[in-house]
Amino acid sequence: MCLDGPTKLPVASSQQLLEEAAQAELGSNDVSINLTAGSNKGDNYLGVVFRAEAECRGTGKRVSIIAKLPPTSEARRKQFIARASFEREILFYTEIYPMMVEFQREKGLDTSDGRQAFNQIPRCLRTCLVDCEEAILMEDLKASGFDMYDRHKALKVEHYRLAVSALARMHAISFALKDQHPERIDPYKGMVDLFLAKEPDEAMGQWFTVMIDRALGTLDIETESEVYARTKKALDADFLDIVKSLTDGKAAEPYAVLCHGDCWNNNMLFKHEKGSPVDFRLLDWQICRYASPALDLMYLIFTSSNKAFRDQHYQSLIDLYHRSLSDFLRRLGSDPERLFPREALDQQLKQFGRFGLLMAVLILPMITTKSEDVPDLEEMAEKMENGFNIADEMNNFRSEDTEAIYRQKMSDCCRDMVQFGYI
């Protein structure tokens, strides 16, 4: 096999894996491959993504494959927890999701039909876990009409309904497995948050401090003294300690489930017909965890929506989530009123709701920064590793003409956290 042009993946074993996947997909050894960037600047933080366009020379048949690799920079690998995040995502694709598929099939569900089953993930083609050669190869969903929604534009309520319903089905599988086959899910109950897998360092502490100070700076301490005080109190502890307490699966029992863990705009793809979303996929399972189902909901809603949207749709989305989860649990053969009644969901939201605030503190600067203004991540990681003032680097996550949008979204998040009684 040969390549058209000199471009290859940066790691030889990953290139070989790609060639094997392309040959298998096309049913031929006579294949050419063209590589391009698989994501835009600012769209991906825990990996480097390539799009491989493969063509069978004999038949002209084509296939597009996404290759996700860790950063090659040792500093960025360390700062962005590359090894642990690829281990977690590969675990999901090779063990956890197949377990979910098998269980649904046992219940007579057609797992090829997203209206019947939870199948809203890309098809994984190949994986590699060799240290410094980690790789995940997946189908290119763009070839099937899926696209990432512009993070600078507001999602419509139809987008949220698709996402919330998919999360509900995924969480329902955990509840049903715990009810009917606890031995299948027990091995994954120890999955802790990846933030906690990294040894704390001064740079990380600085990072969190800068983000918290920036968030508090969006509130007027005089005119909104209560919101300011409650927000400050909710964030007034070691950031990792807060993350640890909120992502502790044991603290969420008996209602802990397998969560996606990273439900922000850039990890969701939508297919549209006539301007309306009709299908949905969840990407990037690198922060998959065993924790409260409220975490996925809070992450999704409070990093991607604004207050006007939440004022109108928040409660109906929570209702839809519980209704969808309950309906799917019944189809899986379990009783939702026993396993996760509505009052239990409300209690989980009260107990873990401030997770939405934490994620807004971290994610909103990235969402509201224009792609051209996102700092060079490898350069930033090197500076963090060498003791540079991280405050200067984190302040680069901003765009002058979108700063007002950040301030509005962040301050409104704090206001709603108080309004809903989450902080």
Q: What is the pLDDT of residue 139?
A: 96
Instruction: Tell how many helices (H) and how many strands (E) occur in the chain.
Output: 18, 10
Among residues 80, 87, 73, 14, the alpha carbon closest in space to that of 44 is found at 80
| Tokens 């569900």 belong to residue | 109
Dihedral of CA atoms 401, 407, 408, 414 in degrees, nearest 10, equals 160
Sheet holding 124-128, edge to edge: 31-37, 48-56, 62-69, 135-139, 124-128
Q: Which residues of 30-42 are buried (b: 16+ CB within 10 A; e: fewer)?
A: ebbbebeebbeeb
Class of domain 78-120+144-419: alpha beta
Q: What is the pLDDT of residue 105?
A: 98
Answer yes or no: are the C-beta atoms of 321 and 263 closer than 8 Å. Answer: no
Task: Indicate the DSSP class of residue 195.
Answer: G
| Tokens 């993930």 belong to residue | 121
Q: What is the pLDDT of residue 196?
A: 76
Q: What is the pLDDT of residue 373?
A: 72
Q: What phi and psi, each to the nearest 5 degrees, are found at residue 34? A: -120, 130
Q: What is the pLDDT of residue 86?
A: 95
Per-domain boundaries in the chain: 78-120+144-419
Per-residue model confidence as pLDDT tens for the chain (423 residues) = 333 433 799 999 999 999 999 999 999 999 999 999 876 554 555 678 999 999 999 899 999 999 999 988 787 787 778 899 999 999 999 999 999 999 999 999 999 998 889 999 999 999 999 999 999 999 999 999 999 998 888 899 999 999 999 999 999 999 999 999 999 999 999 998 887 776 666 777 788 889 999 999 999 999 999 999 999 999 998 888 899 999 999 999 999 999 999 999 999 999 999 999 999 999 999 999 999 999 999 999 999 999 999 999 999 999 999 999 999 999 999 999 999 999 999 999 999 999 999 999 999 999 998 877 776 665 665 555 666 666 666 566 777 788 999 999 999 999 999 999 999
Longest C-alpha distance within the chain, in Å? 72
Q: What is the pLDDT of residue 374?
A: 73
The β-bridge relationship of strands 268-273 and 146-148 is: antiparallel
Q: Please, what is the end-to-end C-alpha distance for the chain in angstroms?
A: 59
Q: Letter for the amino acid at 338?
A: R
Q: Evaluate the CA torsion angle 303, 307, 313, 316 in order and state its sign.
A: positive
Q: What is the pLDDT of residue 45?
A: 58
Q: What is the pLDDT of residue 239?
A: 86
Task: Indicate the DSSP class of residue 28.
Answer: -
Q: What is the pLDDT of residue 6?
A: 37
